[in-house]
Structure 1
Amino acid sequence: MPADAFSDIARVDARGKVLGQTRYGADTQLPAMLYAMLVPATVAKGTVRNIDVSPATGTSGVVQVLSLGDFPTLSREINYLGYPIAMVVAETLEAAIEGAEAIRATYDVTSFIPLMDSPGASIVPSEGFDTGNVDTEFQDAIEVVEGTFETPTQHHNAMELFGTVAHWSGGRLTVYEGCQNSDQARNALAEAMGISPELVTIKSEHVGGGFGQKSPPKLQTALVAEAARLTQRPVKLVTPRGQLFHIANYRPRSIHNIRLAANGEGRLTAIEYHVVQENWPDGGFRSSGYYQDVARLYAIDSFRATAGDIHIDRNMPRHTRGTHPFPAGFALESAIDEMAYRLGADPVQLRLDHEAKTDIIAGQPLAPHFLNDCLREGARRFEWSRRISQPASMRLEDGTLVGLGVACGIFGASGSAAETTLRVRADGTTRIISSGHEMGQGIRTAVVNAVVQGLDVNPDRIEVLLGDTSLGPQLATVGERGTASIIPATIKAAAALRARFRELAGANPPAGNLHQQLARLKRPYIEVTASELAPGQDASALEAFRAGRRAGAGSEYDGFTSMSYIAQFVEIHIEPRTRRVRMPRVVSIADVGRVVSPRTAIGQMHGGVVWGFSTALREQSEVDPRFAGYLNDDLADYVMAVNADIGEVDVGLIDKPDTLVNSAGVKGMGELVMLGTAPAIANAIYHATGKRIRKLPIRIEDVL
């Protein structure tokens, strides 16, 4: 049975973070440590002809300069601007920077494609999807909405940069860095170094934001490890943000052509959807992912989609928070809002009338969900009934235009094989060897809450160990998988420990909490290990997890599909003279199954709204087509939301368990929480102005 509702507890890591005691990878200080700086390629595509390292070797403080011949993982072939061609290692950071800036290289340059619409760019089709009677439904439709929607290239910009510290001792390699998938990073590093994974440890106990960018293994990890092996000293590299823009992953630009049909009864009957994105050849971010989740959002049985990539010569795009459903949802939810106006229907009621119960992609039932509860509760809190339907009809006394918008979001509920070891000691402490990565989302708090709900232990003396491959296998914390996988295992561990104690104590246990009882029984500790499998998995998935291989599943399971849902309600004010867009109020309601940590879940939702505002109205990575490089590659010029941009944010959680997806009824929310924000803002702007804006970010000139 799923766990009962969880009580609210404070963040267990709050005090350490406020006091600056939390240590991240780049905070590691080791004796005799050297400092490194990368030397990026200055061309977008070509071959390195020669590298002159002599100016760097003559720089005071430089210990060694490592170039292409010293790194088997690097190539002379340049496929994007900023690709590392050398690394300078020095006694100080300043000397490393000075040495790196002194190095010069010559190249044989070839032509490149910087943008999707550059000369020579062409579409490479991906897999599509077709179900129902799309052509017939469009022929019979009384209303058809169609439009082209575009979302821009955007970068993650986590507070923590890519920081790596590598140290060799006795043939063993230890690396300290922030990542979301430390097992995969360990295995990739071992392969690059030509050693056994058993000789490599990745320590990633705290991560200063990931959002997908810190999921794949980093190129710099192997470079720093090799530098440490060659110099026989610890080496640290913190990649500057300007370089990070050019070598790390990002959200690709995408263009969405969508048509939506409705019949005489006001039913939405068909969707035709065609999407292309910028991508690398054989890139890991599939264009087919755009239609797969949004096709499940509403009961629209006829759906046709095509997808494709346009290959560009920049660094590789990959998953960014909200991944495919963020851009796709902007297109679909904007089109549905436009259709509501065409039909004379209320945008909330139109969505309520199309509650989906079937997954048309997999051809099976959707797990019971509560999107309509999200819509009803959001409409109540937001006072949606005050909305006057006519665009540009609501104003403040000073002439400020007022717009109200609504949109929904959907994201797959995934899971993974996972394992937890729980030890309760007589000395008053509890230790949990868990799995996953703490990126600020609060997974440690969720683990602690699962333990204190199940066991009478000292809540302030619980140690949660995770993100360290020396402790055991570490779950990839991606795609809303972390909490949904490790919490069921933690709850099972607590239940197993209770049962073990009952066997030990017998019919008349001593008084006190669990620590005191163990002391009176003269037992130093009790320890148990429990595991969890995603639906349909068998023992082989647990073995894959223990070996650091892929062990995830979902959102399509055997016989059902499970998703997380959200409804966003946004109020927009547009100043009558400057046309500056303000967002004084948001109501955000989510269905994420059982809520394990209310405090951190609410924080996640606030963060999602902020990022949603930022993506809708601020963020865009500006590409210089002359060099295929990013012009605004710092926090001064890459415009993001600030405190003054965000008004009142009211969030709510339905907190009903998904009884099919795992034993605790938990679904993820990290990706979900920003979905629906951008189209809700665009829909509110239409309501305020009568202008339908189909391209992000929305600028002042768009609402003039």
Structure 2
Amino acid sequence: MSTAHVGKPIDRIDGRAKVTGAAKYAAEYNEPGLAYGWIVNSAVARGRIAAIDVAEALKVPGVIHVFTHENTPRLAWLDRSYRDQIAPPGSPFRPLYDAEIHFSSQPIALVVADSSEVARYAATLVRVEYAATGHATELDAHLAEGRAPKKRGGIKPPPKARGGPDGALEKAAVKVDVAYRVPAEHHNPMEMFATTVHHEPDGKLVVYDKTQGVQNVHDYLCNIFGFAADDLRVVSKFVGGGFGAGLRPQHQVFLAVLAARELKRSVRVVLTRPQMFSLGYRPATRQRVALGASPEGVLEAVIHEAFQETSRFEDYSEMIVNWTGLLYRCENVRLDHAIVPLDLFTPLDMRAPGAVWGLFALESAMDELAVALKVDPIELRLKNYAEEDGNEDKPFSSKELRECYRRAAERFGWADRNPEPRSMRRGSTLVGRGMASGVWESNQQKAAAKAVLTVDGKLTISSATEDIGTGTYTIMTQVAAEALGLAMADVTFLLGDSTLPQAPVEGGSFTASSVGPAVQAACEAIRADLLGYALKLDGSPLAGAKIDDVEFVDGTIRLRDAPAKAVAITAVLRAGGVEAIEREAAVGPSAKQQRYTRLTHSATFAEVEVDEDFGTIRVTRVVVAVAGARILNPKTARSQVLGGVVWGIGSALHEESVLDHAFGRFMTHNLADYHVPVNADVHAIDVIFVEEHDEIVNPLGVKGLGEIGVVGVAAAIANAVFHATGRRVRKLPIKLDDLL
């Protein structure tokens, strides 16, 4: 038996439950007498409800109640009561609060019935008259209204300009000054957003919710409805995809809890796929990137400007332009970011928010500059390689991006690329090869974990984090098992319950780097206790040993320098008369970390085939090298990067949430119209993890991998399309008619 688990490609411990159906999701918790809610959505994008008539709906046998703004009880009225942990500045949306319509498909009524089918039918009988007013949903038509966003927690505003970028651009010998357009995207996880509320006999509620933050939802509901903390429990053991859509409490959880509390019975509310498009989305952006360089390819001016949409009631912003100021070395840099309020729902963080669109523009512009300079795109990037963060004048905690370029280029066969556009063919198709850099934050949030070791040698460790498919169950079990020298089968990791120790929402690629150190610290506290008991044994083979003198291996405590001197953990507990040891630890970022910029880097290389007659594009292979510090589990880590690459293919060639501006509504609101990559679109993907040692980023030395796989992919593909065709497409997704 080996108890060295970290760094091994261990299968997901939750995999069997998922493939056999044993894993329960939010809409799968049943009990007798469960009622079902169905949401009625607004048909206009802005205005007021002049009248709402629910009489016909109430006549349908099986209908229990219809909630509207006219009969919903007055709840907490303060904006801050409705704010969740990651809400942007502004006034959060309050379902059924009043007659105001803020966006198309806004929930305006909830029909509750004894079956889902009855509720759905009755919802069609709710009659609504609107006093509609003019709405604005077109970003391009309102760019003049762009303004600086209010400061949003966790989002750094663009740094102040350095040097004289506009003058330097004008004087530059070689320059690129171009605009890029990218659309809104919706998350579209497989599992719809759903909430099942169990109403207990004593009035307490257990809320089974699809979320990426059970404690975030718990606090949100308690603030609004006035529940005591112990009267409401939020559970989310399994999540069928989130991608950021579950970071904020969505309106179905509010409506389900409202109905359960008022009707004093259990209620379920599930969104349909079209209703999923009434939630947040990756905002459309319009960007300008201007690069000036010397004839030798040294960057002399960098300007990156971005406009992005937001709602009228919240200032949602992302870090779109900041990456440009730290990825390459330049003394003259200006980064500007503006938001444009529109009659839409508030956008929402979506896998690598800001970086996906910002790096598409930057890395496309860098490719255009390389073409103008007639230099290799890798050579241009290496010539302007940043050894420190120019935005904040800080060193990097670690950075192996050079090695990413080298390893990925070698695996890809970049040296065989003829740089001339339209010069490479494979049969009747044009072949193109492109590359791009990637970067994402490596942050640590405060988190806590509890460990309980029982006399039979079994360990249970818990934290109120989530597993949205990233492998959290598995990697936390690995960390705990290795810390105490136990077999994986002897360790159980609990998550997804608001009653567990505090943890941040699962997002931003900071779960492993936040919860992981807390798990390790809780186990280290138990290690210290175990050694204390071991030293008290009569004739202890560990007499006089300090914690650094021993190691925990194969269920024993043994001397590092004399492994034969060992004692079993179970024997220590029994001899000490201890049934269980319980320890809890909380770990947060250190002061030392703040002196460094902590980032994950990648280099992505893509090959495309383009049919010269029809303009069809096929991504034949992708090679991505990631410098992500310590890799806890190569199998789950690779899976994360693979998923990111697939999404990058989607961003480059498929995904686009299209608004009908006449109605102010997304009309691509199902998976027939909203295209995502399918098996036929995804070919060879090769993932390389570049060795990187980082003692600063967090106590485990890990960096998040959930986001880094997607950033840079769209740019690499777009650059490959240019190389294949000689046609530069500066908007996404790239379509057939862009090339014909």
User: Normalization by structure 2: what TM-score?
Assistant: 0.89
Asked if the contact 1:254/1:327 (under 8 Å) is kept, the reply is yes
Residue matched to 2:35: 34
Q: Partner amino acid for 1:312? A: L
**Which stretch of the first structure deviates more once superposed, 683-692 or 502-511?**
502-511
Asked if the contact 2:351/2:707 (under 8 Å) is kept, the reply is yes
Residue matched to 1:164: 195
User: What is the distance in 2 between the residues matched to 1:55 and 1:645?
Assistant: 48
Residue matched to 2:272: 240
Residue matched to 2:545: none
User: What is the distance in 1 between the residues matched to 2:143 and 2:699?
Assistant: 52
Residue matched to 2:719: 683
Tell me the SS of whatever aligns to 1:49: strand
Deviation of the 1:517 alpha carbon: 5.4
Residue matched to 1:335: 365
Is 1:422 paired with 2:451? Answer: yes
Q: Partner amino acid for 2:131? A: D
Q: Which structure 2 residues correspond to residues 150-189 of structure 1 after superposition, within 5 A?
A: 150-169=181-200, 170-189=202-221
Structure 2 gaps of 5+ residues are 75-93, 150-156, 543-555, 557-565
Is 1:254 paired with 2:285? Answer: yes
Residue matched to 2:116: 93
Tell me the SS of whatever aligns to 2:277: helix
Residue matched to 2:546: none
Tell me the SS of whatever aligns to 1:673: coil
Residue matched to 1:508: 541
Measured against aligned partners, the alpha-carbon deviations of 1:14-38 in whole angstroms (never above 9, x if no partner) come to: 1111111111111111221101101
Residue matched to 2:49: 48
Measured against aligned partners, the alpha-carbon deviations of 1:587-618 in whole angstroms (never above 9, x if no partner) come to: 01111221112111000011011000011100
Is 1:658 paired with 2:690? Answer: no
Measured against aligned partners, the alpha-carbon deviations of 1:473-493 in whole angstroms (never above 9, x if no partner) come to: 232112111111011122222
Measured against aligned partners, the alpha-carbon deviations of 1:558-583 in whole angstroms (never above 9, x if no partner) come to: 32211111111101111233221111
Residue matched to 1:24: 25
Tell me the SS of whatever aligns to 1:685: helix
Deviation of the 1:137 alpha carbon: 2.4
Deviation of the 1:253 alpha carbon: 0.6
User: What is the distance in 2 between the residues matched to 1:381 and 1:120?
Assistant: 43
Is 1:124 paired with 2:147? Answer: yes
User: What is the distance in 2 between the residues matched to 1:434 and 1:227?
Assistant: 29
Q: Partner amino acid for 1:420? A: A
User: What is the distance in 2 between the residues matched to 1:120 and 1:292?
Assistant: 20
Q: Partner amino acid for 2:731? A: K
Residue matched to 1:546: none
Tell me the SS of whatever aligns to 2:124: helix
Is 1:692 paired with 2:722? Answer: no
Distance 1:142 1:669, change over 3 A: same
Q: Partner amino acid for 1:638? A: Y
Deviation of the 1:352 alpha carbon: 2.1
Residue matched to 1:326: 356
| Aligned with 1:114 (options 126, 131, 137) | 137
Residue matched to 1:268: 299
Distance 1:132 1:666, change over 3 A: same
Asked if the contact 1:572/1:681 (under 8 Å) is kept, the reply is yes
Asked if the contact 2:434/2:607 (under 8 Å) is kept, the reply is yes
Residue matched to 2:504: 475
Asked if the contact 2:300/2:332 (under 8 Å) is kept, the reply is yes
Residue matched to 2:321: 291
Asked if the contact 1:293/1:412 (under 8 Å) is kept, the reply is no
Deviation of the 1:216 alpha carbon: 1.1
Is 1:701 paired with 2:737? Answer: yes
Is 1:534 paired with 2:589? Answer: yes
Residue matched to 2:679: 643
Measured against aligned partners, the alpha-carbon deviations of 1:324-380 in whole angstroms (never above 9, x if no partner) come to: 011010110001011111112111122122221222222322222111111111011
Residue matched to 2:63: 62
Distance 1:294 1:196, change over 3 A: farther
Measured against aligned partners, the alpha-carbon deviations of 1:138-184 in whole angstroms (never above 9, x if no partner) come to: 24311001110011011000111110111232232221111112222
Asked if the contact 1:567/1:590 (under 8 Å) is kept, the reply is yes
Is 1:450 paired with 2:479? Answer: yes
Residue matched to 1:215: 247
Distance 1:296 1:5, change over 3 A: farther
| Aligned with 1:140 (options 150, 171, 182) | 171
Deviation of the 1:520 alpha carbon: 6.5
Distance 1:81 1:513, change over 3 A: farther
Measured against aligned partners, the alpha-carbon deviations of 1:205-253 in whole angstroms (never above 9, x if no partner) come to: 211111111111222212211111121110000011111202x110111
User: What is the distance in 1 between the residues matched to 2:45 and 2:313?
Assistant: 18
Asked if the contact 1:42/1:82 (under 8 Å) is kept, the reply is yes
**Which stretch of the first structure deviates more once superposed, 267-276 or 450-459?**
450-459
Q: Which structure 2 residues correspond to residues 248-647 of structure 1 after superposition, within 5 A?
A: 248-281=279-312, 283-286=314-317, 289-396=319-426, 398-506=427-535, 507-508=540-541, 514-515=569-570, 518-519=573-574, 523-536=578-591, 557-647=593-683
Deviation of the 1:93 alpha carbon: 0.5
Deviation of the 1:58 alpha carbon: 0.8
User: What is the distance in 2 between the residues matched to 1:530 and 1:227?
Assistant: 38
Distance 1:35 1:121, change over 3 A: farther
When the two structures are aligned, how many residues end up with a matched partner? 680
Q: Partner amino acid for 2:609? A: H
Deviation of the 1:422 alpha carbon: 1.3
User: Normalization by structure 1: what TM-score?
Assistant: 0.93
Deviation of the 1:254 alpha carbon: 0.2
Q: Partner amino acid for 2:176? A: V
User: What is the distance in 2 between the residues matched to 1:10 and 1:581?
Assistant: 34
Distance 1:581 1:59, change over 3 A: same
Distance 1:519 1:637, change over 3 A: farther
Q: Partner amino acid for 2:332? A: S
Tell me the SS of whatever aligns to 2:140: coil
User: What is the distance in 2 between the residues matched to 1:641 and 1:101?
Assistant: 34
Deviation of the 1:531 alpha carbon: 2.2
Measured against aligned partners, the alpha-carbon deviations of 1:237-285 in whole angstroms (never above 9, x if no partner) come to: 0011111202x11011100011001113321122111111111135342
What is the CA RMSD across the aligned residues, in angstroms? 1.9
Measured against aligned partners, the alpha-carbon deviations of 1:110-147 in whole angstroms (never above 9, x if no partner) come to: 11002113479732244653112313422431100111
Q: Partner amino acid for 2:395? A: P
Asked if the contact 1:64/1:88 (under 8 Å) is kept, the reply is yes
Asked if the contact 1:409/1:566 (under 8 Å) is kept, the reply is yes
Structure 1 gaps of 5+ residues are 538-556
User: What is the distance in 1 between the residues matched to 2:339 and 2:577?
Assistant: 65
Residue matched to 2:83: none
Distance 1:251 1:499, change over 3 A: same
Asked if the contact 1:411/1:563 (under 8 Å) is kept, the reply is yes
User: What is the distance in 1 between the residues matched to 2:170 and 2:669?
Assistant: 48
Deviation of the 1:462 alpha carbon: 2.1
Q: Partner amino acid for 1:155? A: H
Deviation of the 1:198 alpha carbon: 3.3
Tell me the SS of whatever aligns to 1:561: coil
